[in-house]
Amino acid sequence: MSGTYLHLGLFLCILFVCCSATSSSSFASRRSILREVKNAVNHPDYAIELNGTNFDAVLKETPATFAVVEFFAHWCPACRNYKPHYEKVARLFNGPDAVHPGIILMTRVDCASKINTKLCDKFSVGHYPMLFWSSPSKFVGGGWDPKQDKNDIRVIDDARTADRLLSWINKQLGSSFGLDDQKFQNELLSSNVSDPGQIARAIYDVEEATSTAFDIILEHKMIKPETRASLIKFLQLLAAHHPSRRCRKGTAEFLVSFDDLYPTDFWSTKQEDDNSSIRNFKICGKDVPRGYWMFCRGSKNETRGFSCGLWVLLHSLSVRIEDGESQFTFNAICDFVHNFFICEECRQHFYKMCSSVTSPFNTAREFALWLWSSHNKVNERLMKEEASLGTADPNFPKTIWPPNQLCASCYKVLDQKSNKIEWNQDEVFKFLTDYYGKTLASLYKNRNMDGNDGAEGAGEDLIVATNAIVVPVGAALAIAVASCAFGALACYWRSQQKSRKPRRTWK
């Protein structure tokens, strides 16, 4: 009997100890989580933590001109003490609330993690923390060797505090950034109009403008039975000729699913209020919008930005189409602005210019020059309004485009006193094609693309027109060869079409 009590006592004792340990562990775990959440709220991390699996991809993808990589070890007391200093600088350049966005990407790599051993060895990390500086492309697949006399990647040798690190950066850039800088109270990205290479940075603004326009359409529930066809035409244009591959891909995906997302009975039911999958759709991918502008950034929050990005998008489309698509492109853009641009005065003025066109466009050159001329008319009107109201951006005033510094050969006669210009339209078209075509995509292509970018190499038979619109031959062919990566989408679309009954084509 006593043995039974002994075993029972031992069992209860063990149970008590286990329960106490579990309770204590659970409480400690909850307390730890709460502490982490509290710290995350009070001290958000702005620097991006990289590792051996995403290091090259992130640095290849970033639109930033420069990058800083900090190699550290999480167990290192000096690294923990340095982190607040590094974060003070990182908050100026990283994230959607960055004060100086698009200039520097601030990153960190934990060398104490085994996944990063080879990466840290490539950069000969000999102490912690150790900081490196270069353009992002130099880090991709690269490394640092202290024995080499010349390195594209530099060690930041004086960055013990936030003040010292920022001072070092200012010396490299010739800037005067301060730790107390607030958004839009800072130095701008270079506005040197004589540098044609700047337009290469606008590829990111074109993505931002595309995503913003799409979000506005969804937020304001602007897709209606009467606007459905015009949206599809514009999306077809983007799927074929958008300068960003990820926007072409996202647009194609949306078009493939369009009949499912917006069936004919969509507006007669409650689906419009419940369609969360549409609201969460990112037409240019999950990383866009980023929340800031680069080429199109104004000196104040309310200037340039979206309208600039949209104009660059339209010009980039105009120089990428074929002759047989010129009238289709004209109709698609005019209808899109008329139905989906929510600035009422701008919308009316643009559609008035569209309505003044009396004969169809036969060539891409004709349409590109019409869009260029129309943009200059808009600038002339806004120059007068902004001058009388004092609302012009002092750093980026409206001007006739292109200026003489960018294309002297575009001017036959330039009378500055009377402000009369006689244009050499052949040279203008040549400039537009290069500026909004090759140069616009150059930075994006070099940094983001491996292999073909655009309609090179025959791909799958992707005619993503949906049943609402008949696509012209040129656009259909452009979409068909846009990217063989869309092959799976094409197969899915074809299988869906086979299971559907034919519907009447919209006119």
Residues 152 and 136 sit within 8 Å (Cβ to Cβ): no
The CA distances from residue 465 to 120, 255, 332, 336, in Å, are 49, 7, 13, 16
Residue 288: predicted pLDDT:
87
Residue 276: predicted pLDDT:
61
Q: Report which secondary-structure segment, H or E, holds 166.
A: helix 162-173
d(CA 184, CA 300): 6
- In sequence order, which residues have a C-beta less than 8 Å from that of residue 242 and are 6 or more positions away? 206, 210, 248, 251, 313, 316, 317
At residue 228's C-alpha, the angle toward residues 225 and 234, to 5°, is 165
User: Which pairing describes strands 48-50 and 104-110: parallel, antiparallel, or unpaired?
Assistant: parallel
Residues 328 and 475 sit within 8 Å (Cβ to Cβ): yes
d(CA 239, CA 476): 10
Averaged pLDDT, 164-179: 92
Residue 140: predicted pLDDT:
92
Residues 200 and 442 sit within 8 Å (Cβ to Cβ): yes
Residues 128 and 76 sit within 8 Å (Cβ to Cβ): yes
Higher pLDDT, 267 or 142: 142
Higher pLDDT, 88 or 37: 88
For the chain, report the end-to-end CA distance as a whole number of angstroms.
95
Judged on CB neighbours under 10 Å (0-12, 13-18, 19+), 405 is exposed
Which of 72-86, 121-135, 177-191 is least confident? 177-191
Residue 193: predicted pLDDT:
57
Domain 196-450 fold: Four Helix Bundle (Hemerythrin (Met), subunit A) (1.20.120)
pLDDT in tens, 68-86: 999 999 999 999 999 999 9
Domain 48-173 fold: Glutaredoxin (3.40.30)
User: Which pairing describes strands 130-134 and 104-110: parallel, antiparallel, or unpaired?
Assistant: unpaired
Higher pLDDT, 506 or 164: 164
At residue 403's C-alpha, the angle toward residues 400 and 407, to 5°, is 135
What is the number of alpha carbons within 13 Å of residue 347 lying toward its C-beta? Answer: 10
Structure tokens at 232: 């599809």
| Mean pLDDT over each residue of the chain, to the nearest integer | 78
Higher pLDDT, 321 or 190: 321
SS3 of residue 133 by DSSP: strand
Amino acid in the structure at residue 264:
T
Spell out the domain ranges in the chain.
Answer: 48-173, 196-450
Higher pLDDT, 166 or 259: 166
Q: What is the DSSP letter of 434?
A: I
Structure tokens at 10: 């031992």
Whether 239 shows a pLDDT value over 60: the answer reads yes
Residue 275: predicted pLDDT:
58
Q: What is the DSSP string of 436-468?
A: IIIIHHHHHHHHH-SS--SS-S--------TTT
Structure tokens at 294: 């680069």
pLDDT in tens, 414-472: 766 666 889 999 999 999 999 999 888 876 655 544 434 433 332 222 333 333 444 44
Which of 36-45, 71-80, 102-111 is least confident? 36-45
Catalytic residue check, 79: yes
Residue 484: predicted pLDDT:
39
Q: Which of 13, 18, 19, 76 is catalytic?
A: 76
Whether 209 shows a pLDDT value over 90: the answer reads yes
Q: Which of 13, 18, 19, 79 is catalytic?
A: 79
At residue 292's C-alpha, the angle toward residues 318 and 406, to 5°, is 45
Amino acid in the structure at residue 252:
A
Residue 184: predicted pLDDT:
57
How confident is residue 146, by pLDDT bands cut at 50, 70 and 90? confident
Which of 6-15, 80-89, 369-378 is least confident? 6-15
How much of the chain, in percent, has pLDDT values that exceed 70? Answer: 73
Judged on CB neighbours under 10 Å (0-12, 13-18, 19+), 167 is middle
For CA atoms 224, 314, 249, 502, give the dihedral sign. positive
Angle at which helix 245-256 crosses helix 228-241, to 10 degrees, equals 140
Residue 25: predicted pLDDT:
40
Residues 340 and 227 sit within 8 Å (Cβ to Cβ): yes
Angle at which helix 344-355 crosses helix 326-340, to 10 degrees, equals 150
Catalytic residue check, 334: no
pLDDT in tens, 474-497: 444 444 444 333 444 444 444 443
